[in-house]
Amino acid sequence: MIDRHHDLPLNRQAKVLGISRGSVYYLPRSVPAADLALMRRIDALHLEYPFAGSRMLQGLLNAEGHVAGRLHVATLMKRMGVEALYRRPRTSKRMPGHAIFP
């Protein structure tokens, strides 16, 4: 979409396309190899312990010799789309037998 060798300036191209000028210059960074290894291990541990959150996974990883903080584990879990399975409150579910009043 954006042509860097076009006569039209990059900021004008971005304005025509309706995207922010900062996103034109953004270059994504690759994920470090250490984080990829950690993400693979988090995925394996999540399959084994689906109820484990970032605190428990951080403890399991530290027991195995991986050095990772809880917030870093939580960030990697969020990036992978992994979250702990646990009972959540069902406050919005109405019971079928209850009457609805105006």
Neighbour-count burial of 99, counting CB atoms closer than 10 A to its CB (0-12 exposed, 13-18 middle, 19+ buried): exposed
Residue 39 token pair: 């993400």
**What is the rounded average pLDDT for all residues in the chain?**
91
> Residue ranges per domain, the chain?
1-30, 33-80
Q: What average pLDDT does the segment 23-40 reach?
A: 91
Question: For 25-40, what is the mean pLDDT?
Answer: 92
Residue 7 is predicted with a pLDDT of 87
The two three-digit tokens of residue 2, written as one number = 């954006």
How much of the chain, in percent, has pLDDT values that exceed 90? 56
pLDDT at 46: 96
* Nearest alpha-carbon partner for 72 in 48, 29, 39: 39
CB atoms within 10 A of CB 39: 17
Question: When comparing pLDDT for 59 and 9, which is higher?
Answer: 59
**Tens digit of each residue's pLDDT (9 = 90 or more) over 48-98:** 999 999 999 999 999 999 999 999 999 999 999 999 998 888 888 888 888
User: Would you call 58 exposed, middle or buried from its count of C-beta atoms within 10 A (0-12, 13-18, 19+)?
Assistant: buried
